[in-house]
Amino acid sequence: MYIAIEGIDTAGKSTQISALKNHFPDAVITKEPGGTTIGKEIREMVLSAKTKSKRAEFLLFLADRAEHIKEVIEPNIGKMIISDRSAVSGVAYALIQGDIQTKDLLALNDFATKKIYPKKVFLLRLTKEELEFRLSQKELDGIELRGSAYLLQIQEAIVQASKLLGLELVIIDATKDIASITKEILNNINI
């Protein structure tokens, strides 16, 4: 089963993926962007926020996504795959940019993924107050420097992107304690 843990920065994706690894020790743990050798380079380019064109940034994400599907997802499709982000995030970020028509956005993602998407998507949703507190506790990357309003827009766009892609979305309150969140995810994984 291929699942994705989605959420804006500081939502607790890494923490939950670590907890899930304890429950699924044979799972393939991956991330997007950056789940392949080329993907790591693309991730660095995107997080540096050096691209001037939002379309160029989107195309970098698509290149990473295509490589990720080919190298990680397809060879392991019969196993438990837990991904830190997925095409859902890519579509969400592009929706916020508003520079690409929705039909083109979906067609390009279908092309990059060969229409291989997570069976379930878990969104760890943060409140504005909790997000701002968590951001104040760390050094910010290029995306985080865009501010909490931008990140909260992304969070809502993740919901919209999941619907557009026709994916099952489970929304979880990311302000709950770690164990409660893990339990909620496990209760929604039907294996």
pTM (whole model) above 0.85 = yes
- Mean pLDDT for all residues in the chain: 91
Residue 88 scores a pLDDT above 80: yes
Higher pLDDT, 46 or 19: 19
Mean pLDDT of 134-139: 80
What six digits make up the tokens of 174?
């990311």
What six digits make up the tokens of 121?
């998507």
CB-based contacts of 131, cutoff 8 Å, min separation 6 = 8, 10, 148, 151, 152
Domain boundaries, the chain: 2-188
Question: Where residue 148 falls among pLDDT bands split at 50, 70, 90?
Answer: confident
Residue 173 scores a pLDDT above 90: yes
CATH ID of 2-188, from 3.20.20.140, 3.30.70.380, 3.40.50.300, 2.70.98.10: 3.40.50.300
User: Can you give the pLDDT at residue 191?
Assistant: 58
